[in-house]
Amino acid sequence: MTVTANRQAPARDRSPIPPGAPKVRKKRGAPLWAKITTSLGAVLLVVSGGGLAGGSVLVQQTTSNIAVENLTGDAKKTVGEGGGDTLEGPIDMLLMGVDARARWAADDLRSDSIIILHIPASHDQAYLISIPRDTEVQVPAFAPSNYGGGTVKATEAFFHGAQNGGGWTGGAQLLAKTLHNMTGISFDGAAIINFGGFKNVIDELGGVSMCVDQQVTSKHMVWVDGEAMFLADARKTGKPTEPVVHKVGCRSMEGWEALDFARQRYGLKNGDYDRQRHQQQLIKAMAKKAANGGVLSNPIKAAGLVKSAGKALVVDTGNVALADFVLGLKDVAANDMVLLRTNNGTFSGNGNGREKFDDVTLAMFEAVKQDRVAEFVLDNPTVVAKEK
């Protein structure tokens, strides 16, 4: 990794940690964003006792199947904004979740989950901000997909960028540019997560602990002869089906169950806002399980985990090599994540069934740009989402 001298780390934000935020240990220079970007908590390891040289070789081998693309396009952070080829300073990432199954064409996708990840210059905290899928956005023209621009929902921006050969890369670039225009935030990197593919990652972890706070019936899966199946696949069998019901309580979930629960929005009290919170919980649960489940000390487990993650990820690491990211992940704690919500966690409509951001949310985006999120959260504690 080439380190340039022209990118100076901004002064640390020494604002007090807001009430309700998890306690963290100070870890100088630990790039927490790399952990979340590359596997959303499925830690890409540095084997304990392996040493830097041995760890570097292992990391390069185990991350070689993860696709690295330019996902941020015109929304990439410039050197003048603090971007560059080092991990110093605040880090802003765009995380996009898609539900890609084999029967769907590569360009027939929408971003079901949109999360802005902010790491302050102190690198001792991670903030996850979910963007409602129904937010009304102004999407600019995008030549790679022959899109002329228009007013659509945020979830559709990815779709328009992926058309006519734009693919996942085009979808991500157009969504990133759309959000940049709307929030002013530029991105150091990004990741596309195929939620369907992440089933194997969660199963490789041995499941994750999730808490269901309100009962909900799945709109996507049903039981067929004791096996959970997607509705479309279940219909093809011609057999009787039973609903998949996620009942209240905390328990360990297999991959399919955790992902299905995190996808539900219909039938929940706060609709998509509850879904956003559940998806954030899933990210944190995966991080915690990877950090505390013996992955870091077991090369066999780690290699299998990274192999599974590679099938479900496309990442943009800016000008920094993926392996260099991973080598900074040692001893990163899973609780370095604070879950934030827009619009106070409730639907804020503009009269046509789409959402608009309220003044507090717009101020939160400005705080991200200025790297003053901790201070903002202290002044606006209601933006912190309850985890259950």
Tell me the C-alpha distance between 178 and 170, whole Å.
12
Q: List the 242-246 sheet strands across, edge first.
A: 227-230, 216-224, 242-246
Tell me the C-alpha distance between 50 and 59, whole Å.
11
Question: What is the per-residue pLDDT for 191?
Answer: 86
Question: What is the per-residue pLDDT for 185?
Answer: 97
Burial class of residue 67 in the structure, from the number of CB atoms within 10 Å of its CB (0-12 exposed, 13-18 middle, 19+ buried): middle
Question: What is the per-residue pLDDT for 57?
Answer: 54
242 phi, psi to nearest 5 deg: -130, 145
Question: What is the per-residue pLDDT for 336?
Answer: 61
Tell me the C-alpha distance between 268 and 218, whole Å.
11
Question: What is the per-residue pLDDT for 46?
Answer: 27
Question: What is the per-residue pLDDT for 251?
Answer: 96
Domain segments of the chain as ranges:
32-205+293-383
pTM: 0.74
Q: Going from the first residue of the chain to its last (388 residues), give the mean pLDDT of each consecutive group of 10, the final group possibly shorter.
A: 35 40 36 36 30 46 72 92 77 83 62 85 81 92 96 93 92 96 93 77 89 95 94 92 97 94 89 82 79 65 69 75 53 60 79 87 96 95 80
Helices (H), the chain: 32-39, 51-62, 154-162, 167-183, 198-205, 231-237, 255-263, 272-292, 299-310, 322-326, 359-370, 373-379
| Residue bearing tokens 């192999």 | 307
Read off the amino acid at residue 375: E
103 phi, psi to nearest 5 deg: -80, -5
H helix or E strand, kind and range, residue 67: strand 67-68
Q: What is the CATH number of domain 32-205+293-383?
A: 3.40.630.190
Look at the alpha carbons of 174, 186, 33, 17 in this order and tell me if their dihedral is positive or negative.
negative
